[in-house]
Amino acid sequence: MLKSVCRRSVAIIALMMIGLGLSNCKGCQDDVQEVVDLCESEADKTYLLSIRNVDFDAIGTKLVADPNRILNICQDHFAANTDAGHEVIVATNELTDIEGVEIYYGRTWLPHENKAGLFSNSPTNDWFDYVDNQLDTSADHPCHDDGSILCSDTDTEDGWAINTCKFNGTSWNGSGDTEYFTVSTNVYCYDHYSDPSSVDYPKSNGVLHELAHGMGMNHSNVWAEADKKFMSTMQGKHIHLTALDVAYLRERYPDSMPDHRNYVAGSKTRFDDGAGGWDGRVFFEDNPLEFYVDTNGNLKDCATKKTLNFMFPGLIQATLMVRTTFAA
């Protein structure tokens, strides 16, 4: 998978060079060659670990009956041409684009739905929408205390900011595999619901976390507390699926795929700091998100207009550059 991703990066950079009509692109060519070298490096030089001997049942056993999904998305609040809607698109693409996994997410945009529609007794698709759990009395919320508007639990009352509720073919929040699910977003936890100009809306990492719940993944207590946020989108809300997430989805929803190296870079990782501890990093915070080629053929950070400076060694650099800049 990474080889195909890396080759895509070289092609895109080359197209950028041609499109800009650069006559002297030695610096850009050097950077392209560096990406090629990283992509062709041996696995033991990539600073990434493959996933082996995973207890997949500890991650989740309640699967969807059909991995080919249609997600109904609220047009009124998450239209495709809005920033909020883009976050949902990025999250669904992350699941659809995994090689070796039979998951496909189609998307439709429909008018805002009430609880009676979102939690119908005969659903036909998955849903992503805001829910007003206090003023919307059309139906009870099957997965939370009806009427609760809290964004997190208290000792006496249930709360949630964004939640996945599953329908097993007979009832909501029951046992068995999942026929359909609804991701409901608490209107009292996001300013965007009442103010379309607000940037306080669910981000792609949170949406991805909920969609992964829908596909059967759960929070797990089998990992050490210090490891959790680095292990999976279930604990760390990564902007990309981690190696563990991909391994689980390949195990549960396998599909044919070409020869590949089973290495995946997550959006959070950590390295030995040389002093007996770990140096934790978040990719999208510590690395350039977008770059361009200047008139001298050099790659520059769009944010700083300076030469690219990546915080991570080896293949992680190439993977980050490709996935963050071009995957959407």
Domain ranges of the chain: 60-252
The domain over range 60-252 is classified in CATH as 3.10.20.70: no
What is the C-alpha separation between 200 and 184, in angstroms, rounded?
16
Output the pTM of the full model: 0.71
Count the residues in the chain: 328
Contact criterion met (CB below 8 Å) for 119 and 182: yes
Looking at residue 56, what is its pLDDT? 85
Looking at residue 272, what is its pLDDT? 65
Residue 285 makes CB contacts below 8 A (sequence gap 6+) with: none
Sheet of strand 104-110: strand arrangement: 104-110, 68-74, 126-131, 180-186, 162-167
The secondary structure of 234-303 as a DSSP string is HHH--SS--HHHHHHHHHHSB----S-------SEEEEE-SSSSEEEEEHHHHS-S-EEE-TTS-EEETT
3-class state of residue 86 by DSSP: helix
What is the C-alpha separation between 75 and 85, in angstroms, rounded?
8
pLDDT digits (tens, 9 = 90+) for 18-76: 333 333 444 445 555 554 454 454 433 333 444 556 788 888 989 999 999 999 999 99
Residue 314's nearest CA partner among 99, 40, 13, 50 is: 40
End-to-end CA distance of the chain: 16
pLDDT digits (tens, 9 = 90+) for 83-115: 999 999 999 999 998 888 999 999 999 999 999
* DSSP strand pairing (68-74 vs 104-110): parallel
Looking at residue 270, what is its pLDDT? 64
Q: Which residue has the higher pLDDT, 124 or 221?
A: 124
